[in-house]
Chains A and B, each alone.
Chain A
């Protein structure tokens, strides 16, 4: 184990995999000469050279599509998006090409490709630069969506994503790149895609949260513990396929659930989790499922508005108490 920053753990995963497999390359804006817009790929150009660490112009539709074509023709690209906010100019590439060509070709072509970059809000960047993309992409059959919450998870999950033969969207966070944590230095440290992590066990309420919200969930669980209630905290780790079995099993134990989801609320990740709970655990619910999401508006700029826009620990804590009828 070594203590690494989130960005270093991601870099370690990419580096280890690229050392292992010549077909893997990294492409994206500023990944090479600039050492990465968020310094995730720092030093990788020096190690792997310009053939395997490839700078692109600002041309997401172009280089995302290029990655897809390269995957279709046998390579294993890692496509870095400077942020997922910029992925929407390449949305068709991901929606119609990465996700669907395999199906439309009757399984003739596979897409072993990873799209990765920071997701969601990163401060006072206003509406265009603060989109949480989980539900946009998790909606699409043919894709997998992974959302690590800790440096260690990011390493194990990214290595699994790179090795996966299906397109994986890997959601990081600017806010978390500097976060430090113990990270496994096992050579084959793989965390399975599609498996949730029960971070804390408890019986009072189930808290589901990914990415930055994971830390809110832990804070809320601490506060509830001070009140004498043990919350069960589940980090889905993978958004699609979501490990509903683990969540449902937890609901059957706790009878209540609060989801913290940084997305805008309508038709979001939390909507789907709540739907699955009512369908599969209806008779186990002692209270409605609650969620704490971003507000149902574009992200604002002003600091107080932006703070208010984001999911708040206080709200999540109160929601937990509400569903526990406290």
Chain B
């Protein structure tokens, strides 16, 4: 008997993927059930507990005003997770529509859309967003809309490349020769067929969007006090470092990093499973 080398019958256990998914589930459940999880209010000031260390009462410590950090992180998760979601909703609605339009029409429509997205690409995204915020004023709503616009070209470019490949498939011609209009074919057939790969891409973009929003809040353009948006928490916790307390910065910073990494891990795995590498 000779041993014959075969591929291992079981795929590698996706430990990272499971961890990431579990962590995200924990964060989402915590954010939704925040009032049940902690006894504190997110903006209840208690100067007696100012810069409290980790203790059974304050599991992750407290900030300068004595606000419980765990409570603020959980409530902050609401803005910090819903923000990127809305941002991507705006960006993907615009981007998918533009990308599909370009791939479907080709010709001058494609040229215009492609050149505009190229120009947007060349222009630093954050600068564009800060420009919009300078015109329309600071705030979470403006920041989400501005970032939505800034992310649209990326999605448009991706959608266009996927749509070009999809348009070349015979079933699209089959609908065309049935006399169906372009709009009906795109909305009912083309976009649903691209859904899988676009969603995989969006999952990775979610992490990026979260980080961009946190950046804007950190710079003071996005969420305004007394919101407990994670980016804003990092900004507000900064002065405490001088007093030797790291928790007010470390806790929201770690929350951002872990959530972004989790989304990337899940996004990459989704892309792998769909055979779409290299996004």
Q: Do chains A and B interact in one complex? A: no
